[in-house]
Structure formats: structure tokens, C-alpha cells
Amino acid sequence: MILVGEENDGKVSGVANPDEFQKKVRKELEAIYPSIVWRQALYELENRTCIRIEIEYSGDTPHFGDAAWVRRGSESVEATSEQLDLLVSLRSGKLRALSEWEGKTISLSIHSVSGVTPNWGLWEAVLEPVTQHYCTFILAGQRRSEPLDWLTISWDHINGRLRVFVDYKYSVR
């Protein structure tokens, strides 16, 4: 949500020409690719007209109008090339699915061979930071990171959560 006409220090300056300002906002927001869902509305505060702009989260990042921007605390700052690479990677299937579960409990199955057939255990783990190369799990109080190439994404219907299979057969030995 963006409030136009309210200053960071709490003062209300209002918008001098709300109609013209809304037209400029519409022109800029409609130029964004991929498109975003947004709305704007006028409101009165201390007898001054202000504008509220609401932008819905879509997950289809990054969006472009010029440079790519990311949030840092309460500010929007221009993305570094590394951040832009990560944003583009987040649009891909596996990384996107994993990143939506960051900080949440998932079901983790790790391939271990016992006898002739593989044994896929099932453990509860918390998914920690996900990068375009690896992700980290907290399993039994310990952190372990695994390359994305070793992971297969599925769903645990019994527990209603993401299930991640770690298969070491993809490792370079």
C-alpha cells in the first residue's frame, strides 16, 4: 500500500491535483510487465485529499517498468544484478515452490539404500533459506543444506504440506 499525501513524519500535505496525479499513476502502473493488479482511491485526511494505491502480491516477480526494485525494510531500492538473478530464478518451478515454504514445516524424505530397494524415510523439517543453488533444512535441530539438483518436489497429503525428496544418486562422486 502506498499513501500519497501523507509524509513520513506524519504531516498531511495532500495532493494538489488528485485527478492528474491518478492519471500519471495509471499510466506508470499499466506499463509494468508482467502486469500487476492494483487499485487507487481518494480519501480525505485533515481536510486534504490524499491517494491510496494498493498493489496485490502476485508472485510473478520480477516486474519491470525500468530498473528492477526490491524492498529493503521500508524502502524500495534498485536491485543488484545478483538480486535480479534470484528474482528471475524464483519464477521457475522448483525454486518458486520451495521459496513459498520458507520458514514453514515440510515433510523431508532422504534416499538411503538398504538392501536392494531404496528406503525413503519421512521426517518433519523446517525449510530455511532457499537460493538458486541450494536450500537449507532444519532437521532434528541441525541445519543441512542440499543442492537443488538433488531435490524432487511432491506433496504430503497425509500432513497437508510440501514434501521434498533428497536423492543422492544425482551427486557427483
On whether both 12 and 68 belong to a single domain, the answer is yes
- Residue 68 — φ and ψ, nearest 5°? -85, 140
**Number of neighbours of residue 83 by Cβ within 10 angstroms:** 16
Q: Assess whether 81 and 115 both reside in one domain.
A: no
Considering its fold, how many domains does the chain have in total?
2
Query: What's the confidence (pLDDT) of residue 167?
Result: 85
* Residue 92: per-residue pLDDT: 67
Q: Are residues 54 and 105 in the same domain?
A: no
User: Domain boundary residue among 54, 71, 90?
Assistant: 90
DSSP state of 64: B
**Residues of the chain scoring pLDDT < 50:** 172-173
Contact residues for 42 (Cβ-Cβ < 8 A; gap 6+): 18, 22, 49, 50, 51, 52
**Amino acid at residue number 158:** I
Please give the residue range of the domain that contains residue 131.
94-170
Last residue of a domain, one of 64, 90, 116: 90
Q: Nine-digit cell at 102?
A: 520458507
pLDDT at position 173 is 43
Among 171, 166, 170, 167, which residue's Cα sits nearest to residue 107?
166
Listed in sequence order, the residues at least 6 apart from 132 whose beta carbon sits closer than 8 Å to its beta carbon are 85, 86, 89, 95, 148
pLDDT, position 115? 57
Q: What is the rounded CA–CA span in Å between residue 90 and residue 83?
A: 10
- C-alpha 96/C-alpha 147 separation (Å) is 15
Which has the closest alpha carbon to 163: 118, 127, 113? Answer: 127
| Cell numbers placing 7 | 509524509
Give the bridge partners for 113, in sequence order.
Answer: 118
Give the tens place of pLDDT for each residue, 130-144: 888 899 999 999 999
pLDDT at 104: 97
